[in-house]
Structure 1
Amino acid sequence: MLFPTLFSIRIYSRIVSLILAVMLITGPQGWAQLPTIKPETTFSAGAVDSLGRQTPRGTVQGFIKAVGNENYARAALYLDLPVRMSAKNRRTGPQLAQALQQLLDQEGSLVPESLISNDSTGKNSDKLGPDLDQVGEATVDGQTIPILLERKSIPGRDRLWRFSVQTVQQIPAQSALMEQSVVNRFLPKYLIEKKWGGVPVGHWFVMLVLLMASYILARLLVTLASWLLRIFWYKARKEQMTQLIQAFVPPVRLFLTVVLFTAASGAIGVSIVVRQSFGEIIIVIGLVAFLLLMWRLVDVFSKYAQVRLLESGQAGRLSAVLFLRRGIKLVLIAFGSISVLNVFGWDVTTGLAALGIGGLALALGAQKTIENFVGSITIIADQPLRVGDFCKVDGMAGTVEQIGIRSTRLRTPSRTIVVIPNGQLAALKIENFAFRDRMLFNPTLGLRYETTPDQIRYLLAQLRSLLQNHPQVNPNPARVRFTGLGDNSLNVEVFAYVDTVDFNEFLAVQEDLVLRMLDILDESGAGIAFPSQTVYVGADSTQSAEKIKRAEEKGRELRVKDEQNRADADAPKNA
């Protein structure tokens, strides 16, 4: 276990380094460009607030940026300062802003910015009522207090969101707060004095170390839990339950990493500025954990369903299971993409509305795609073919390997792949050999013209007996008939069904039947005709002349008799 752990440390140290690089690019450089503070009297009703206080998220973001730049005068503009304060607790706005930062650093936390409402009316789904949102919590004198934002009107402008009077009044005096947080006690002095983004560099370093340590600890805890589960729960040793447990292991590691990291960073007093910077990263990790869990569960349950269908002889439903699995995974990908974009501040609602406006153009441009998708649904519902079936589609024969959302793949006998769009496949004539309950045996024997009628009668009797007595030939129907005179042969048709659906077994039965038929032909003295022509060179034999003479005499008699019958029929008319 030591090598995988060390390997994981190296991998995740690279990931954390990449995260740090991104933060270096997008962090303080953006913070250093904060706009200058303008007097509040310059705004008129309906004007955009340059401090971003028109939404709860904007207020929290503005406050964090201000304290990160140690601009407490600006940070005070995000507080709804009480009109009157007690003499004991009387402080200026900047002092209150600094005290609130220290409270959040040591004893509090804020909701990640992407989870805070970005609507001017706030979050309406909570139970706090209108114009009031909770964005965090803190511990004061052993009691947990909510960090609230309240939307109030300011003379000469619209209603703006600020930290509520109730929250500001509960900010303890700085003397009541710890002089140093836990993390500051153990960091070297130079890591505290040197700052990046208004925060000691050591705090950023500690967060990266905590992230790696949280993952390693989560990995060890999950490994230990799964090991104990297999020991004390006998069902966990079964293959299906083992697969289910293994599906939970990676997502639970990530979930536990998020929990440990969040709890540890708050407990040791890492700056709220740093913790808020990691908020989106933590949400994305949690989101990835959830999507990974759903993805792995889809694989586990689809595999279980496939096994059960095969065991119960319902292989035809495999296509529906595979199609459903792909559909659910596409939904997960779409949901994950939209959620990640939303976390990083993209207005997904506007994007979806734009898609609605351009829906007609999209539909016109994607007619074939939509046609193929509808065709796939039709194929799955109607099931003219299934995965594993041997079919003939538009003259092409092959085994169905995959029924996808866009196309279906056939593996031909020559081992090539034929891809047919589902839109076309749904409209084509499909011959499915997998639905046969038995296989047709229908050869035609061409006998030589020298074969006598008695020989033919003997052959018919023996061939019928062969079919009736063969154990793998269905006797109903099993017929042998002399069907007529061909150009080069006397034709005998054999029509029967072999009781098998396996093609290889059918070939073996067919081989046995044909060989026995050849034996019967040999016993009868008959033979198979070959394409030939008879050329008459000389005069016919005497026997043939006599036959011709008798036939001519017979013909004359029939002619005379026919003429007499006609005369008798015309006599009454003449009378």
Structure 2
Amino acid sequence: MILSVKRLLSSLLLLAALLINSNAVTAQLLGSAKTTTEEPVKVPEDSLGRRTPQGTVNGFIKAIGEQNYLRASQYLVLSKRSYRKTTERIRIVKTFQQLLDQGGNLSPSSIISNKETGRTDDDLATGVDLVGNISTGKETIQLYVENQSDDSQPALWLFSAETVESILSADIRGEKTFLDRILPHYLKERKLGNVPIGHWAVVVVMTILSYLLARILIFVIGFVIQKLWKKADTENGTAIIEALTLPVHMYLTVILFVAFTQRMGISIVVRQRFSIIIITIGIVAFLILLWRMTDFVSMFARSRMSRKGRISAISAILFLSRTTKAAIVFVGIIAILGIIGVDVTAGLAALGIGGIALALGAQKTIENFVGSVSLIADQPLRVGDYCRVDDIKGTVESIGMRSTTLRTSARTIVTIPNGQLSASKIENFAHRDRFIFNPIFTFRMETTPDQMRYLLVELRSLLYAHPAVLNSPPIVRFTGITADALKVEITAYIEALNFEISQEVQEDILLRMMDIIEASGTSLAYPSQTLYMAQDSSPSNEKAAAVAETVKKWKEKNELQLPKFDPKRVEEIKDSIKYPGEGSFKPKED
């Protein structure tokens, strides 16, 4: 009985277990209503700041500055044997520090990568960064930091085993540096910022000496340039020398300071702190050089444009000069902020977005500026030119950075945006090398063929003979017979300095042509729609007969200059007309 009860209980428990398992399986197959989200695993911070190359170098310099050599040894890849011995770890770090003090050089902290991946734009292997070097008497030791972890673990950057091995095998030149041998004991014992006061004092002295020595070198270089360069005393030569003097002086001071402090054995802690200042001075010197060269180029360009009379280009040069200076200041601020360790990536991104918004908002302004640059570069018009823009005629009074103004013949001012002007069709009358003379004469239907021949010859002779008409063969052609007249078209080019003079020449030619028409015995035709009852006069029979006799003689002697003129005849009559004619006012010539 008892066994039966036990068996029954066992069966019930087994059945309950199966039901529970089946529900679990069903829940897995059908999907659960609640889903669990995995929380991101937080990477623990390294107490020594060795997650990046920059953190490793800064932590190592701080540790040796505080003379905590055991902590400094944790920034090095040491063998197990060396790591177990405290004295060996301290000896390795002190050797490293001594080599850095005697001839070592670490990159400024702002230049060293602050990312866990290190630098990826160099030629080194992934996970290896170059952070400095040490110059000994025989060799140069490259200082590398290397990521000791794999991809599945947080980054851990340490000075590589190769670097540590090179340090241990280096030939140390004496136990003490130059400064440690010459400085009094009290200047080495008393410290400021974990650095002996004597080192700070030597830094000040070296700064003054470097400045004075650089000044002497600049004087010597300037003296040599004055002797060797012939254009040194000219305005442009003096401007170039003045532009280069201050930046070169600053660069020489920095170079001399770095050379002196590195060879005198000043603590790497002091030099690493001064590295940011040194690079900042170098950047400032470069910016000053760009600023002064911008002033020189602007002055040279303005002087050249003034000599050429291109006054409109001066405003563009000033605008470009100011824009360049603003860009120099902006780039300089970004560079200096980056050197002192400020992350400017977010600021640059914000400025980029703001720049896009500003560009969209100032689209027309930018369009007008680009148009003004195009006008200045191509020079389709200049101040004082008489031109036509689309259907507007006028004289150019000014060309600004936004618009150009024209004064019309009605004495009104028309302002045209440069963006629109650069896209318009511009006809510049001031650039003409010749002026076309293209009258069309219509003669009476009673004009005889001989009278027409006479007119064609004499009109063309007049154009050949006139000194203000270009030597290109003028065209005088009998082109048609209309319902009420005989049509003659004339095409020639007048050589004149300006439009007013060309009008004077055209007036003289027309008056002489009227004399020829009068002498031919015919006259110009009046429109058939108009009746001139009183003014109309019959053609002169005597003149017509005389003209016919003249043409007859030309034919008999084969001297009829139609359809072409004899070149000998052209040479005979060329420039034979006195212009201005007899009785005209002639200004006295000095």
User: TM bucket by the smaller chain?
Assistant: 0.5 to 0.7
Question: CA separation in 1, counterparts of 2:103 and 2:250?
Answer: 25
Q: Determine the structure 2 residue equivalent to 1:169.
A: 165
Query: Structure 2 matches for 1:139-150, cutoff 5 A?
Result: 139-140=135-136, 142-150=138-146
Note the C-alpha offset of 1:377: 2.9
1:281 corresponding residue in structure 2: 277
Distance, in Å, in 2 between the alignment partners of 1:268 and 1:281 is: 19
Question: Alignment RMSD, CA only?
Answer: 4.5
Distance in 2 of aligned mates of 1:253 and 1:191: 31
Q: Which letter maps to 1:114? A: S
Whole-Å separation in 1 of the counterparts to 2:197 and 2:74? 27
Shift of 1:66: 1.3
Partner of residue 74 from structure 1, selected from 58, 71, 75: 71
Q: Aligned equivalents of 1:281 and 1:326: distance in 2? A: 28
1:360 Cα deviation from its structure 2 partner: 6.5
Q: 1:353 aligns with which of 343, 349, 356?
A: 349
Aligned residue identity for 1:146: Q
Secondary structure (helix, strand or coil) at the match of 2:318 reads: helix
Distance in 2, Cα, partners of 1:264 & 1:409: 60
Contact 1:302 1:321 in 2 (8 A): yes
1:184 aligns with 2:180: yes
Q: Which of 112, 115, 118 matches 2:111?
A: 115
Q: Work out which of the two has the higher radius of gyration on C-alpha atoms and give 1 or 2.
A: 2
Give the match for residue 132 of structure 1. 128
Partner of 1:513: none
* TM-score for both structures, normalised by structure 2: 0.56
Structural mapping, 1:488-527, within 5 Å: none
Query: What's the counterpart of residue 65 of structure 1?
Result: 62
- Pair 1:52-2:45 in alignment: no
- 1:332-377: per-residue Cα shift (whole Å, max 9, x none)? 222111111100111112222233456666668xx35x65444333
Query: Deviations 1:486-529 (Å, cap 9, x if unpaired)?
Result: xxxxxxxxxxxxxxxxxxxxxxxxxxxxxx9xxxxxxxxxxxxx
Matching of residue 252 in structure 1 with residue 248 in structure 2: yes
User: Do 1:99 and 1:173's aligned partners in 2 also have CA atoms closer than 8 Å?
Assistant: no
The CA deviation at 1:163 is 0.7
Equivalent residues of 2:371, 2:419 under 8 A apart: yes
Q: Residue 382 in 1 paired to residue 375 in 2?
A: yes
Paired position in structure 2 for 1:240: 236
1:37-436 matches, within 5 Å, as 46-84=43-81, 91-140=87-136, 142-153=138-149, 157-172=153-168, 176=172, 178-356=174-352, 367=361, 371-382=364-375
Q: 1:318–1:386: 8 Å Cα contact kept in structure 2?
A: no
Distance 1:277 1:100 in 2: 18
Cα deviation, residue 423, structure 1: 11
Q: Deviations over 1:198-249 (max 9, x none)?
A: 1101211211221222112111101111111111332333332232222211
SS in 2 for 1:278: helix
User: Residue 141 of structure 1: CA displacement?
Assistant: 5.5
For 1:345 and 1:387, how far apart are their aligned partners in 2?
A: 51
1:389–1:301 CA distance, 2 compared to 1 (3 A): farther
Distance 1:298 1:211, change over 3 A: same
Provide the C-alpha distance between the structure 1 equivalents of 2:365 and 2:71, rounded to a whole number of angstroms: 58
Give the secondary structure class of the aligned counterpart of 1:136.
Answer: strand
What letter corresponds to residue 69 of structure 2 in structure 1?
Y
Q: Which residue matches 1:449?
A: none
Query: Cα distance 1:53–1:362, how it changes in 2: closer, same or farther (>3 A)?
Result: farther
SS in 2 for 1:171: helix
Q: How far does the alpha carbon of each residue in 1:121-152 deviate from its partner, in whole angstroms, 9 at most, with x for none?
A: 22223322221112111134522111111111
3-state DSSP of counterpart to 2:148? strand
Partner amino acid, structure 2, of 1:226: G
Q: Distance in 2 between matches of 1:252 and 1:408?
A: 42
Whether the 8 Å CA contact 2:247–2:288 is kept in 1: the answer is yes
Shift of 1:251: 0.8
Give distance in 1, aligned partners of 2:77 and 2:236. 59
| CA apart distance, 1:260 | 0.3
The CA distance in 2 between the partners of 1:121 and 1:190, in whole Å, is 45
CA contact (8 A) 2:312 2:400 kept: no
Secondary structure, counterpart of 1:323 in structure 2: helix
Distance apart, 1:175 and its partner CA: 10
Name the aligned partner's letter for residue 67 of structure 2.
E
Give the Cα separation in 2 of the matches to 1:282 and 1:117. 19
Task: Identify which range, 153-162 or 215-224, moves more after superposition.
Answer: 153-162
The AA in structure 2 aligned to 1:57 is Q
Q: Answer yes or no: is the 8 Å Cα contact 1:181–1:269 preserved in 2.
A: yes
Structure 2 CA distance for partners of 1:284 and 1:77, relative to 1, 3 Å: same
Cα distance in 2 between the residues matched to 1:86 and 1:115: 30
CA distance in 2 between partners of 1:173 and 1:198 (Å)? 28
Classify 1:52/1:78 alpha carbon distance in 2 versus 1 (closer, same or farther; 3 Å).
same
> Which secondary structure does the structure 1 equivalent of 2:49 belong to?
coil
Number of residue-to-residue matches in the alignment: 390
1:38-77 CA-to-partner distances (Å, cap 9, x unmatched) read xxxxxx9832323221211111111111111122222111
> C-alpha distance in 2, partners of 1:71/1:152?
23
CA distance in 1, matches of 2:368, 2:96: 61
Separation in 2, partners of 1:358, 1:183: 53
CA–CA separation in structure 1 for the residues paired with 2:416 and 2:112: 45
Alpha-carbon separation, structure 2, partners of 1:133 and 1:94: 25
Q: Is the 2:189–2:196 Cα contact (8 Å) retained in structure 1?
A: yes
Distance in 2 separating the partners of 1:140 and 1:359? 50
What is the rounded CA distance, in whole Å, between the counterparts of 1:390 and 1:193 in structure 2? 81
Distance 2:141 2:347 in 1: 38
Name the structure 1 match of 2:390. none
The structural deviation recorded for 1:390 is: 12
Distance 1:144 1:355 in 2: 43
